[in-house]
Amino acid sequence: MSTASLLSSLLASPHFLRRVLWLDAATGVATGLLQCAFADALAPLLGLPASLVLGSGVALGVFVLGIAWIATRKTIPAGAVWLLIGANALWVLGCLGLLASSLVAPTLLGVAFLVSQALTVGVLAELEWMGVRKLYPAPAW
């Protein structure tokens, strides 16, 4: 089965968006817990301030609560998903902004961490966009 036909098949599921939301929440929980539990150990490895590692881990925890709230609604609220997509886009821009700034000097592992965060969150935002557009198609004007 080709990637396109697999994605088409997954998109056809009425549960696609809810599954993507739970995937977003799961990745956020995993990353946030690691960052909170090991901020001091990760900071020198990543070349990022411990306060940034810890603060973004805490932010992920709060973010995950919002995603879980959206995912547990009987009817997924489109507006909340659009806000989530926007927040994910800001997270991507934040990661890329850190790479472009002189505020931090990430190590090679830190660069890989920020790039992987940007890519993962970007893909999740794209999947959420695809899911919300399928669930709530634009009206034909």
Examine the pLDDT at 14 and tell me if it is beyond 80.
no
Backbone torsions φ then ψ of 101, nearest 5 degrees: -90, 170
Indicate the pLDDT class of residue 5, thresholds 50, 70 and 90. Answer: confident
Q: How far is CA 28 from CA 2, 11, 23, 33, 59, in A?
A: 29, 22, 8, 8, 10
Position 54 scores a pLDDT of 98
Examine the pLDDT at 88 and tell me if it is beyond 70.
yes
Please give the Cα distance from 106 to 24 (Å, whole number).
Answer: 25
pLDDT in tens, 18-41: 999 999 999 999 999 999 999 999
Strands (E), the chain: none
Please give the Cα distance from 65 to 47 (Å, whole number).
Answer: 28
Position 141 scores a pLDDT of 61
Please give the Cα distance from 119 to 123 (Å, whole number).
Answer: 6
pTM of the model: 0.87
